[in-house]
Chains A and B, each alone.
Chain A
Amino acid sequence: MDILNGFLDAIKGLWTDSGFTQLGWQNYVMMAIACVLLYLAIKKQYEPLLLLPIAFGMLLVNLYPAIMAPPSTEMVECSVYEAAHQGQVINYATTTLNGVQYYNVPQYGGLLYYLYQGVKLGIYPPLIFLGIGCMTDFGPLIASPKSFILGAAAQIGIFITFIGAILLGFTPAQSGAIGIIGGADGPTAIYVTSKLAPELLGPIAVAAYSYMALVPIIQPPIMKLLTTKKERSVVMGQLRPVSKLEKIIFPIIVVIICAIALPSAAPLVGMLMLGNLFKESGVVERISKTAQNELMNIITIFLGTTVGATATGTVFLTPKTLGIIALGLIAFCMGTACGVLFGKLMYKFSGGKINPLIGSAGVSAVPMAARVANKVGQEENPGNFLLMHAMGPNVAGVIGSAVAAGVLLSVLG
């Protein structure tokens, strides 16, 4: 009989601890969203390197929320603890309550909580930038420096959305973190949010990475709406060849200018340019390969999974979070629109030599935004190859969003 009771108690305990009784409806909704994102990542292949770990992290944390639990302490009566551990006295801090002495037994946090510290402390974003720097060819930007204007124009969305967020009742620091989603640069968004509004890190990171993954869906309608068929058909002239020396000098000059003008942008721009110097110098090939492959992959796994794991149902499905997601989308659309509109201006001033579509690539999201500009251009003229021309504003957008982040951190931080 005792055995049967013990068995039933064990089953009851397992049932009580299981997800069937612990999880709320919000967790199930988030699991469904995670499955949709997994579908988009695997079947549609929308930025799978990011979307897959994010979606799986989201699924995991909603199945088992304790995986993101912070460390805590549990008070256990000293005599009970020692009896359970064969009288072993342990060096834990003690608390005395009503004459009874308790051990403060440490309870370790969940696995993803520890991995998340790299996000929370702003460590992963600059390391991701290091890898991006190693993979980026700034040649198109050096060949056509005016691309910087398009990279800057696409950042206007950040500041316009800032106003929108303020008007909706967010604090200035929170508004700055929401606006940076418009830069379409995941690491920058995480870095700024971790400094300005850590409480919004989850929704902002998920929004930033989701919109980056959805660039091929979000951007083309805006690009087509703001341009004429004639403008989209412009075939741009060949870019001049860029020498190795120019490519080596570029990261050094950019980091000096940006770090002097905006010291708060130094960690992001500095690591980006360090990675690029690894690549262009050609003397540290081993380090360059490690930074752009192994290191980048490891950080992407940690960053993606833990960012996804911030999206627990109870935190995520609130009007405030949904407002952030909506504002982020507006920021992203505004960035694209401003880039295209400046592209139109450059089209006019250049006498029709610049295709305004490349302006949309100013919203970082490298290289997806440049690919989208190329694809939309080819829909009008299949022989038009805008990819290299769009890469200029695209990489300028990375520098531009880091500079914009520096402005927000300096003024609001």
Chain B
Amino acid sequence: MGDNFSLSITILLTGFAVVFAVLLILIGIIKLYGTVIFNIQNKKRVKKASRNADLPKVEREEAPAPAAIVEAEPEVDDDALIAVISAAVYSVYSSSSVRIKSIRKASSRRTGAWRSAGLSDNVRPF
């Protein structure tokens, strides 16, 4: 019984130590390579951005496209709407460096092209 008890404590300590040690090593390695890859990819992105310098910066920081959603769902909760627009912007630019400064409802004049494209797409069969 005494032998079994000491074996139990040995297993408990070994198991605890090994499981935590292996997983802590993995945490360290994942953090390390995560940082390295992030830095490398960030550098590449900066280079690419400097090459495409003709792209206006203001357009990247603002999100004009979701304005159509605002029109379609005028009674949506503001927080939820901001979350949806942020998600859309991040998925388009796939970068955390994008910052949304403000979200404004676009005038109907600006959405005219989208509206006419949508209308023509829907009414084409008729």
Evaluate contact between A246 and B33: CB separation under 8 angstroms: yes
Evaluate contact between A152 and B37: CB separation under 8 angstroms: no
Q: Whole-angstrom distance between the alpha carbons of A145 and B33 in the complex?
A: 12
Evaluate contact between A245 and B37: CB separation under 8 angstroms: yes
Given the known inter-chain contacts A148-B24, A253-B26, please indicate yes or no for A159 contacting B15, CB distance below 8 A. yes
Q: Whole-angstrom distance between the alpha carbons of A258 and B29 in the complex?
A: 13
Evaluate contact between B33 and A249: CB separation under 8 angstroms: yes
How far is the CB of A364 from the nearest CB of chain B, in Å? 13
Tell me if A396 is interfacial: C-beta within 8 Å of chain B. Answer: yes
Closest chain B residue, CB of each to CB of A150: B23
Contact of B19 among A160, A254, A407, A412 (CB under 8 A): A407
Evaluate contact between B22 and A262: CB separation under 8 angstroms: yes
Tell me if A53 is interfacial: C-beta within 8 Å of chain B. Answer: no
Given the known inter-chain contacts A172-B4, A253-B33, please indicate yes or no for A145 contacting B26, CB distance below 8 A. yes
Given the known inter-chain contacts A163-B8, A172-B7, A253-B33, please indicate yes or no for A145 contacting B27, CB distance below 8 A. yes
Evaluate contact between A151 and B23: CB separation under 8 angstroms: yes
Residue pairs across A and B with CB atoms within 8 Å: the count is 106
**Total number of B residues with any Cβ neighbor in A under 8 Å:** 33
Tell me if B12 is interfacial: C-beta within 8 Å of chain A. Answer: yes
Q: What is A's interface to B at a CB cutoff of 8 Å?
A: 141-142, 145-146, 148-149, 151-152, 155-156, 158-160, 162-163, 166-167, 172, 175-176, 240-243, 245-246, 249-250, 253-254, 257-258, 261-262, 396, 399-400, 403-404, 407-408, 411-412
Closest chain A residue, CB of each to CB of B29: A253
How far is the CB of A180 from the nearest CB of chain B, in Å? 11
Contact of A399 among B18, B20, B23, B29 (CB under 8 A): B23
Contact of B11 among A167, A250, A403, A408 (CB under 8 A): A408
Closest chain A residue, CB of each to CB of B30: A145
Q: What is B's interface to A at a CB cutoff of 8 Å?
A: 4-5, 7-12, 14-16, 18-27, 29-31, 33-34, 37-38, 41, 90, 94-96
Contact of B15 among A158, A250, A254, A258 (CB under 8 A): A158
Contact of B7 among A148, A155, A166, A241 (CB under 8 A): A166
How far is the CB of A127 from the nearest CB of chain B, in Å? 24
Evaluate contact between A404 and B15: CB separation under 8 angstroms: yes
How far is the CB of A402 from the nearest CB of chain B, in Å? 10
Evaluate contact between B23 and A148: CB separation under 8 angstroms: yes
| Residues of chain B with a CB closer than 8 A to A149's CB | 20, 23-24, 27
| Residues of chain A with a CB closer than 8 A to B5's CB | 163, 166-167
Given the known inter-chain contacts A162-B8, A257-B22, please indicate yes or no for A243 contacting B38, CB distance below 8 A. yes
User: Most chain-A CB neighbours within 10 Å: which of B16, B21, B26?
Assistant: B26
A-B CB proximity, top 10 nearest: A148-B23, A163-B8, A159-B15, A145-B27, A145-B30, A159-B12, A152-B23, A166-B8, A407-B15, A166-B4
How far is the CB of B8 from the nearest CB of chain A, in Å? 4
Evaluate contact between B27 and A146: CB separation under 8 angstroms: yes
Given contacts A162-B8, A166-B4, A243-B38, 7 further A-B contacts (CB under 8 A): A156-B16, A158-B15, A162-B11, A241-B94, A253-B29, A403-B23, A412-B11
